[in-house]
Structure 1
Amino acid sequence: MSVSLEQLRRCHVGVDLGAARTRVFVKGAGLVVDEPSVAAVNTRTGSLIAVGALAEQMTGRTPHYIRVVRPVSGGTVVDIEMAQRMLRHLLGEKLRRQLRRKPRLRAAACTPHDADPLAQRAAVETLVGLGARRVELVDTLIAAAVGCGLPVEQPTATMIIVCGAATTQVAVLSLGSIVTAERLAVGGNAIDAAVIQHLRTQHALMLPSQSVRPLQLALRGTGLTSQGPEVTEIHGRDVATGLARTVHVDTAAVRNAIHTPLTSVLDGIGKVLRDCPPDLVADLADRGITMVGGSALLPGLDQMLRDATGMPVEIAERPDVCAILGLGAMMEGRIQPLVLNPLAEVAE
């Protein structure tokens, strides 16, 4: 763990700045913010028009002088000033006033595994700009494992897959630390893009940018499994004429298009298992893999991983908020480290 539990217990607020959603946990109040990481700006005046869900609804529907921006990309803050403004508006004046009353406000933030120093610095500066005197950084893999109830502090192996919008992180944990991990540049956005590209090339159909998730349209029912519907009806815009059009899409072809980006996830799981000590791999055969993150809800993805690895795969109870809930549990002192009893020296 990159920071001690004692330091986290002194923190007052925890933040998970994701590429898709921003979540804020306040000690004593729980999860207070769970909104899309989007902001709409008036380019003429520089003023912020909307943040969160309202700004996301504006995507693709704004006049030329309104720009919809995403200050977080791949779990990394790429626009510190805009991220600070977005967080201020998401928190609201009342909550910010309560936090300002803290004499020495401490904050904690989730960061992706193997985040480079610049990415860590951007996360720290974002929260310092909100008034935090000290910022602790916690690996997203550790926080997510704690949030879904895995016994990370025990000397047994637990494997977790964090399926985010921009990245997928795979790790084996033991004794409260990461034994081996891999971060892949494939997430829910890449899978959505594969579906959109398939519909454009095979059916000359363009889908709306964000009105509905195209993946859920194309894979309703049992999703990636072969028991799903053979044909799915999808509405969109014709590439050539620009008119609205409805097409009947072969679901099997969509499944094949989705499998292409998912092969890199399977390769990452294989690499993590190869780098893992044999004793821990033996534990994983019984415990299996736990999936968290918003993209873990992709229909049929868990079954695909079962078939590819031969290990049990389960989705966490609330996969989308596991990381921030785990961070909150550590801040409130609900997680206790494993106490090791040193061998007492026997006097001769």
Structure 2
Amino acid sequence: MTVSLEQLRRCHVAVDLGAARTRVFVKGAGLVVDEPSVAAVNTRTGALIAVGEFAEKMTGRTPDYIRVARPVSGGTVVDVEMAQRMLRHLLGEKLRRQLRRKPLLRAAATTPHDSDPLAQRATIETLVGLGARRVELVDTLIAAAVGCGLPVEEPTATMILVCGAATTQVAVLSLGSIVTAERIPVGGNAIDHAVIQYLRHQHELMLPSQSVRPLQLALHGTGLTPDGPASTEIHGRDVATGLARSVVVETAAVRQALHTPLTAVLDGIGKVLRDCPPDLVADLVDGGITMVGGSARLPGLDELLRDATGMPVRIAESPDTCAVLGLGAMLDGRIQPLTLNPLAEAE
């Protein structure tokens, strides 16, 4: 999975296949696709009905003969054929025609840290099926660090936390490489599930649809912070009767319900820091942790990490698109490699 910047500069398209969203960057055109990684299929005919935003709205609202599929799970392609069909429709005929004009189409794709060879092969086959003659794989942690402007190539430590839908990845980077990293099987979906379980067990209430982020629905964007509202009203379906019902939920109780999944993230950060050399840990006192990913905007998560680690924590300017924009910067040649032997040039 080691790839040079020179190889990446030869690529024409960069793809970030995430469990929540799929993003495509084309050299010279910028970010052209940013849609949910969802496809709706007619099981009777096998025809693709919808992809992206419209397919996600169909989740939980379809008849029996329509299946809403998610071909990507945890940053890994689990259904190659469906992922190819989804990408083909997301790109559109006009863009695919432009890419086919490339005599030797090269593509770059992000892959989770420590992904197994089968998962890497599935990503490569997905892009080869779309016409790519060569596919370069880049670690999501490095791509996200480049995308949020961290000095990855410098001989100083930078710590990044990629908060995905299915997994959370944390790493310490220095000199353009990963010094130590950890992949935690807890992400935004687990946090949402914790809220769903809390409402079901404590209030016997089911939320209307899993396509709506239940955490944001319950907390209105501010409930996880101590300064947010003390309570909020939630509409859902009664577990026993099946009728519509509203309950008033204390946000302090919801914060307690999220303690279990977030504890696993804190444990992963602690393991990375313990495995990191002391000199690099000293650098992190000033640099702190940079959060990226769709779940990085979870209200109060940055405060929780700040209190638990004692280090400064900041959220990237565009946390959702850092990984694909980092790949795009590598494709455009905006990232220069560090000169490791400057004395030779002086001679």
Given the two structures, how large is their TM-score scaled by the length of structure 2?
Answer: 0.98
State the alpha-carbon separation in 2 of the partners of residues 194 and 137 from structure 1: 33
* Structure 1 unaligned regions, length at least 5: none
Tell me the amino acid that sits aligned with residue 86 of structure 1: M
User: Which residue of the partner structure matches residue 240 of structure 2?
Assistant: 240
User: Which residue of the partner structure matches residue 114 of structure 2?
Assistant: 114
State the alpha-carbon separation in 2 of the partners of residues 2 and 54 from structure 1: 37
User: Which residue of the partner structure matches residue 6 of structure 1?
Assistant: 6
SS where residue 237 of structure 1 aligns?
strand
User: Which residue of the partner structure matches residue 261 of structure 1?
Assistant: 261
Q: Number of matched residues?
A: 346
SS where residue 141 of structure 2 aligns?
helix
* Structure 2 unaligned regions, length at least 5: none
1:199-348 superposed matches below 5 A: 199-220=199-220, 222-341=222-341, 343=343
User: Which residue of the partner structure matches residue 195 of structure 2?
Assistant: 195
State the alpha-carbon separation in 1 of the partners of residues 59 and 242 from structure 2: 19
State the alpha-carbon separation in 1 of the partners of residues 282 and 64 from structure 2: 58
Give, in angstroms, the shift of residue 210 of structure 1. Answer: 3.1
State the alpha-carbon separation in 2 of the partners of residues 179 and 83 from structure 1: 32
Q: Per-residue displacement from partner, 1:276-328 (whole Å, max 9, x unpaired)?
A: 00000000001100000000000010001000000000000000000000000
Q: Per-residue displacement from partner, 1:26-72 (whole Å, max 9, x unpaired)?
A: 00000000000000000110010000000001101111111000000
State the alpha-carbon separation in 2 of the partners of residues 138 and 159 from structure 1: 18
Give, in angstroms, the shift of residue 246 of structure 1. Answer: 0.4
Sequence identity percentage:
87
Give, in angstroms, the shift of residue 103 of structure 1. Answer: 0.2
- Tell me if structure 1 keeps the 8 A contact 2:223–2:230: no
1:118-197 superposed matches below 5 A: 118-197=118-197
Tell me the amino acid that sits aligned with residue 46 of structure 2: G
State the alpha-carbon separation in 2 of the partners of residues 2 and 229 from structure 1: 48
State the alpha-carbon separation in 1 of the partners of residues 211 and 127 from structure 2: 31
Give, in angstroms, the shift of residue 2 of structure 1. Answer: 1.9
- Tell me if structure 1 keeps the 8 A contact 2:60–2:211: no
SS where residue 338 of structure 1 aligns?
coil
SS where residue 127 of structure 2 aligns?
helix
Deviates more, 1:335-344 or 1:281-290: 335-344
**238 and 153 in structure 1: CA distance in 2 versus 1, 3 angstrom threshold:** same
SS where residue 260 of structure 2 aligns?
helix
- Tell me if structure 2 keeps the 8 A contact 1:220–1:299: no
What is the RMSD of the two structures over their aligned residues, measured on CA atoms? 1.3
Structure 1 residue runs of 4+, over 4 Å off? Answer: 342-345
